[in-house]
Amino acid sequence: MAKRILVPVDSSDQATAACEFAAEEYPEATLVLVHVINPAEAGYSAEASIPSFSEEWYNQQEAAATELLDELEATVTDAGVESVERVIEVGRPTKVIVDYAADHDIDQIVMGSHGRSGMSRILLGSVAEIVVRRASVPVTVVR
């Protein structure tokens, strides 16, 4: 049975590196590219509470995610991967990634590390670190 590899993606170089690594290491697998739209990034301004602003913000995020997934799908298919799934989810990235892996028969997670260190890592945490701690499947972190 073919493996299903979850690759959480954003617009970072690390996410691209994770896609390239997954394509190289698992060319026969189905790569599931997931982008998480985090509502917390909409901010807490007065405009954020206006429904039309929220909808406009979400539509912009969804369009950007679709474009990103187009680019990354091309990257992995050019590398020889034949089976790619694309997913856009909304929520807190760590929770979405861990829950998606548990609920969708994922065998492995391959993700990039943003390489935070020092105070920013302490204050912001690391999505990769939290996923490593909470995921029920193996996680490979690509730097």
* Predicted pLDDT of residue 82: 96
| Rounded Cα–Cα distance for residues 71 and 50 (Å) | 32
* Predicted pLDDT of residue 50: 62
* Predicted pLDDT of residue 116: 60
Mean pLDDT of the chain: 89
Domain boundary assignment for the chain: 4-142
The answer to whether domain 4-142 has CATH 3.40.50.620 is: yes
Buried b (16+ CB within 10 A) or exposed e, 23-32: beebeebbbb
Answer yes or no: are the C-beta atoms of 90 and 41 closer than 8 Å.
no
* Predicted pLDDT of residue 125: 57
Buried b (16+ CB within 10 A) or exposed e, 67-104: ebbeebbebbeeeebeebebbebeeebbebbbebbeee
For the full predicted model, state whether its pTM sits above 0.85.
yes
Q: Give the residues of the chain that fall short of pLDDT 50.
A: 124
